[in-house]
A and B are shown apart, each in its own frame.
Chain A
């Protein structure tokens, strides 16, 4: 019940990526999706910083705020440089809706139960985002700088995924 609904998010990402691939220019949705994905993880981390009991989980949450803020800073700079207007779209809205629901679920928990659920959600969430980046968002990015940013983002998020897996394993 606590598992992140991976299927839904992935489908949404695939849909938008497909739509984006059909366009020749612009594709303002890709940086916006990457940005939204980062914002979601920052909000989850902020909740963890308020609620988490484990020192390791709190340290991980701090890492998430630091890294996703850095990635989003790059994403915003690129959006500005490419002169695309970041706009909410169906995917970013779907991502946000699911994340809001997830945070509400997590907020009801406390102590070790919160730590475990947060860690498991971080594994699932990063896996979803990494899969989407690897299989669709990066291959469909036509702008070189956007491709580079998404590729670097993927490396960072894969690191987060592994880190989250180790953390979830230790909390079992």
Chain B
């Protein structure tokens, strides 16, 4: 029996092709990761730019809980003490955000459309 006609091999090739396709699919849609630190009750950087499809990683270095809350109600992330939480950016626009628990913590996100591939 020829190897090429082995049904198991054929399944394997198709599975591999699918895996490769999925990999590129994921690669194409995964944007950049933007880190925003929370330390001593301040966001750093407080102002950041992102594209739709990017991920914002909120890193809370404080021993108190924080939130990153969009003032327009688009999103809210709860970040427990000394924890990291991620947010997938979905909508373009300039969004002011703050910590709901500590309203003196403020920032601004400038979100633009996904760049052309």
Q: List A residues at the B interface (Cβ < 8 Å).
A: 59, 63, 66-67, 70-71, 73-74, 152, 155-156, 159, 162-163, 166
- With A155-B41, A156-B41: A163-B64 Cβ-Cβ less than 8 Å: no
- Tell me if A's interface is mostly helix, strand, loop or mixed: helix
CB neighbours (8 Å) of B104 from chain A are 159, 162-163
Residue of B64, B101, B105 with most partner-chain A CB within 10 A:
B64
B32 interface contact, C-beta 8 A? no
- With A155-B41, A156-B41: A70-B63 Cβ-Cβ less than 8 Å: yes
Residues 59-105 (chain B) with a chain A CB within 8 angstroms: 62-65, 81, 100-105
Residues of B in contact with A, size category? 10 to 19
Give CA–CA (A14, B114) in the complex, Å.
Answer: 58
Shortest distance between the CB of B80 and any CB in chain A (Å): 10
- With A155-B40, A156-B41, A159-B41: A74-B101 Cβ-Cβ less than 8 Å: no
CB pair B81–A70 under 8 Å, yes or no, is: yes
> What are 8 of the A-B contact pairs (CB < 8 Å)?
A67-B101, A70-B63, A70-B64, A74-B63, A152-B40, A155-B40, A156-B41, A159-B105
Q: List B residues at the A interface (Cβ < 8 Å).
A: 40-41, 62-65, 81, 100-105
Shortest distance between the CB of B105 and any CB in chain A (Å): 7
CB pair A159–B102 under 8 Å, yes or no, is: yes
CB neighbours (8 Å) of B40 from chain A are 152, 155
CB pair B63–A163 under 8 Å, yes or no, is: no
Shortest distance between the CB of A153 and any CB in chain B (Å): 10
Give CA–CA (A162, B100) in the complex, Å.
Answer: 13
Give CA–CA (A41, B70) in the complex, Å.
Answer: 29
Name the one of B64, B100, B103 contacting A156, with C-beta atoms under 8 angstroms.
B64
Shortest distance between the CB of A55 and any CB in chain B (Å): 12
Shortest distance between the CB of B107 and any CB in chain A (Å): 15
Give CA–CA (A166, B62) in the complex, Å.
Answer: 23
- With A152-B40, A159-B41: A66-B64 Cβ-Cβ less than 8 Å: yes
CB neighbours (8 Å) of B101 from chain A are 63, 66-67
Shortest distance between the CB of A85 and any CB in chain B (Å): 23
- With A155-B40, A155-B41: A67-B64 Cβ-Cβ less than 8 Å: yes
Give CA–CA (A156, B101) in the complex, Å.
Answer: 11
Shortest distance between the CB of A66 and any CB in chain B (Å): 6
